[in-house]
Amino acid sequence: MIRHEEIRFRMMRNGIEYGELYAMGTPTLRMQSSGEIKMSLQGTFLPDAVDSRGNKVEVDWLADEIKPVLILNGEINPLGVLMPSTVTPKEERGEETVELQAYDRCWRVRDYKMEGALYLTAGTAYLDAVEQLLTASGIATIIKTPSEATITEDRQDWETGTSYLTVVNDLLAEINYKPLWFNAAGFAILEPASTPTAENIQHIFTNTKPDPRNRKEVEAVRLLPQISRKTDIYEAPNVFLCICSNADKDAGMKATAENNNPQSPLSTMRRGRRIVKEVRVNNIESQTELQAYADRLLYESMRTGEVINAETMLQSGFGVDDVTAIKYGETLGICVEEAWTMQLTPGGTMSHELKKVVINLG
């Protein structure tokens, strides 16, 4: 089947599309899971948008948003909603352009700062507190996984000037949720952190010919030839000691998680020594949540240090920390997608930075 690609940059004002922006050259869209703000767009564009009738429309760079779209064989796939942060006008040979840097809506949440101390009363649901901060930041669309976790004592932990994004991520961490991120439609996502397993694979990459009887293989993403691997050996901890000693609690809490998986090159068994990392937690709901927090740090550390860099054709449907199975030659592994970059032009490629993980044996 012939693959037909189009890239459009739709402009939005108050959530409504009003025109398109035209790119000069090849803009790039990047996801970096370790960043406080996960997605960014860079590129050079003509300075005005164009509406459906071909008329120029002046862009309000302080308020408008950009929605890049991949149209693949006629199917429209949004790639995110981004806010301009830096706009640099240029002129060359009489043609005006703008160099643009834009970020996802985490940028909006980070822009809002505490104007006074935040006071949270005991019994407040964690997600209610998070949603109130997001709403105050102008975020209206939220997808959440419900949680019954509540704040256990009156709190006033964040000083004037602290960004809302810092507070939101602190609260989410206390109930073992992922940091705030926004999906391709621009919705805020509030979801628990999860351990990569064979059961929660979201994408399959392969360079082998698919078995037509296997639907998963037929739907797998084809790898391009450019594949590289490297292993980063460092003094990674294999024991996590998490301590919560908030003064308002009757007694301090401790939780320990140990990597004793014989398949992990970082484990206490393979290294022959315990490399302990002590982590201080300011506040957390319960001993159970503290243990879950220690376990999550352990699972995240069990990424082997092997990084696989691969390329595919442009694809939609990628988020943050997606679990990806990769098969090339005789190599098969489960990875976490720590970063990806799209070349936003027809025929462009998508590069993936994958960290291979070791499945926990319990």
> Per-residue pLDDT tens for 109-135?
999 999 988 899 999 999 999 999 999
Residues 6 or more apart whose CB falls under 8 angstroms from that of 211 comprise: 217, 218
Q: Can you tell me the distance from the alpha carbon of 186 to that of 265, in angstroms, rounded to the nearest whole number?
A: 39
Residues sharing a CB contact under 8 Å with residue 136, sequence separation 6 or more, in sequence order: 112, 164
pLDDT tens-digit readout, 236-269: 788 999 998 764 555 678 999 988 888 777 788 8
CA–CA separation, 121 vs 154, rounded Å?
A: 4
Quote the pLDDT of residue 222. 87
| E-only strand ranges, 46-141 | 48-50, 56-58, 65-72, 75-78, 82-92, 95-104
- In this prediction, residue 359 has a pLDDT band, given cuts at 50, 70 and 90, of low
pTM of the model: 0.85
Looking only at the bridges linking them, the beta strands covering 48-50 and 56-58 are: antiparallel
Residues in the chain: 362
- Report phi then psi at 32, rounded to 5: -130, 105
What are the extents of the domains in the chain? 5-103, 108-190, 198-231+304-357, 239-300
* The pLDDT of residue 314: 95
Summarize the confidence of residues 309-331 as an average pLDDT: 89
Note the CATH number of domain 198-231+304-357.
Answer: 2.40.30.150
Domain 108-190, CATH: 3.55.50.10
Predicted local distance difference test score (pLDDT) of residue 361: 43
pLDDT by residue (tens digit) across 64-109? 999 999 999 999 999 999 999 999 999 877 889 999 999 999 999 9
Which pLDDT tens digit goes with each residue over 266-282?
A: 788 887 888 898 888 87
| pLDDT for residue 304 | 58
The pLDDT score that the predictor gives to residue 301 is 75
When the pLDDT of each residue in the chain is averaged and rounded to a whole number, the result is 89
Q: How confident is the model at residue 362 (pLDDT cuts 50, 70, 90)?
A: very low
